[in-house]
Amino acid sequence: MKVEKVKYVLWAADWKRCAAFYRDLFEGTVGMESEVWSEVVIAGATIGIHGGGEGKRTWTGLSFQLDDLRAGISRLQACGGSLTREPVDTEEDPLHLAMCIDPEGNEFMMTQRRA
């Protein structure tokens, strides 16, 4: 047996909007699109988007590590996402974690490696 691909699945009430959000936010590539199933490849990982979701807020456990979290936050908001908790940037704890939500209600994290 050989594993061909690992997918992380999100539910979306508006599958087109959800696919476009992750494609635009993380410069992903849409591999396939349909009302039932779409795939966006980001940094080699596949995000599966299943239509028919309720659009309710849901924690996903999904996390994206970025090289520039501040730029990621700006891009998140420009793409229609929002922060669920403002990141804290102090001398003791430099900015490294942003709690985010996509337009479909899926919660995820964006992180930056600490120096």
Q: What is the pLDDT of residues 14-51, one digit of tens each?
A: 999 999 999 999 999 999 999 889 999 999 999 999 99
**Phi first, then psi: what are they for 17, rounded to 5°?**
-65, -40
What are the pLDDT digits (tens) for 60-115? Answer: 999 999 999 999 999 999 999 999 987 877 777 666 889 999 999 999 999 888 77
Residue 2 lies in a domain: no
pTM: 0.88
Total number of domains in the chain: 1
Q: Which of 83, 77, 102 is nearest to 12 (CA)?
A: 102
Residue 108 lies in a domain: yes
Question: What is the Cα–Cα distance from 28 to 37, expressed in whole angstroms?
Answer: 16
Domain holding 53, by residue range, is 7-112
- pLDDT at residue 95, as a whole number: 67
Residue 19 lies in a domain: yes
- pLDDT at residue 86, as a whole number: 78
